[in-house]
Amino acid sequence: MPRGDAAGADRGFERFKSLVLEVATQPALDAVIAHPEFPRVALAMVEGWGPHNEDDAGMTRTLRDVGHYMAGVWSLALSGSAERLSHVSLTRLFEPLGLGSRTRAHALIAYFRTRGMIRPIESRGDGRLRNYEAAPALRQLFHNRFRRELTTAAPLIAGADAILARWDEPGLFEAFMVANGQFMVGSYLNFDREAANLDVFAQRHAGLTVLGQIIAAAPRTGVFPPDGPVAINLRDIARRSGVSRAQARNVIRAGEKAGFLTTREEGWVDLSPDLRHQLVYLLAAYVLSLTWCANQAMGETV
C-alpha cells in the first residue's frame, strides 16, 4: 500500500492504476474467456458468492455489501503492510480515492471497531492505542473465502495448486491480501462510473449475491452466463443468498428497472445481452486479479 509523503503515495496509486491495465489486457481477458473450463468455473464462482457454513455468520452479514467488503479487504491489506492499519494510513488510502478525509477516517475506524472488523493493538513506547489490526473473524472469513475461490478458479490459474498447498503458511495469506488491496485500489481508480456497469446490483444489500444465485439456478448447459430464460424460486434464491424474500425481490426489481433482467412470467427471468457481457468480463478480470495476487504472494514469501 502507498507509504511516505503525499507525493510518494500518489506515485504508488498511479502504479496500482497502471498495473491493473497491464494485468487485465484485452488479450488476457479473451484468453481466460476462451478457456474451455471458463463457463464451468465462472458459474461455480458466482454460486459461491452466497454464504458458507464454515464462515462466521455475523461477519458474513457485515460484508454482504460491497462497501463493507472493500473496507474488509483494505483493513487486511493495511494490517499486513509495513505501515500497519491506523488513522494515518487509512486517511492516506482514502483521500486520493475520494472516499473521505482524516475526520472521515477516524469515524470509519470507530465504525469498523463496532462492527467487529478490526481491533486495537498497543504501539511501542507510551502504550497508547494507535494502531489496529484485522479482527480474527475478519481474517478467517477472507482466509476461507480466497482459498475457496482459488480452488474454484484453479483450472484457469497457472500455479494455483502451489499457493493452495502453502495457504496456511505464516505470512502467505497476509502477502496475498496486501496484493489484493493494491489491485483493488487500481481497479477503483480505473472504474468508469459513466459507462454501463453493475452498480445497480453492487449498491444494493447482497445485490451481487442475489444475482449470482439467479444465474446458478439456470440449467447446466455449458454456457456462461445462461442465454435462455432461468426458472427461479424466490424463496430459494433468498435462502441461498442469506437475505429475506423482500430483499431478493428488490434486487430483481432494480435489475428489471435498469434493463438487465426481464420477468417473462411468474418464476421466469431473462438476462439481457448487456448483463451477460458484463458478467463474462467481470469474472475474467477477477480470475486475472486472483492470478496476479497469488503470484505476488508467492514471490514475497519464497
- Which pLDDT score is estimated for 232? 92
One pLDDT digit (tens) per residue for the chain, 302 residues:
555 555 555 567 788 889 999 999 999 999 999 999 999 999 999 999 999 999 999 888 888 888 888 889 989 999 988 888 988 888 888 776 776 667 778 888 888 889 888 998 866 555 555 789 999 999 999 999 999 999 999 999 998 999 999 999 999 999 999 999 999 989 988 887 777 789 999 888 899 999 999 999 998 888 999 988 999 999 999 999 999 999 999 999 999 999 999 988 778 999 999 999 999 999 999 999 999 999 999 997 65
Distance, CA of 243 to CA of 209 (rounded, Å): 9
| Cα–Cα distances in angstroms (integers) from residue 80 to residues 86, 181, 237, 260, 299, in the given order | 12, 10, 36, 38, 15
Domains for the chain: give ranges and CATH numbers. 6-35+53-192+290-300 (no CATH), 199-279 (1.10.10.10)
Please give the angle made by the CA atoms of 55, 56 and 58, to the nearest 5 degrees.
Answer: 135
| Nearest alpha-carbon partner for 60 in 151, 157, 162, 138 | 138
Q: What angle do CA 183, 25, 20 make, to 5 degrees?
A: 15
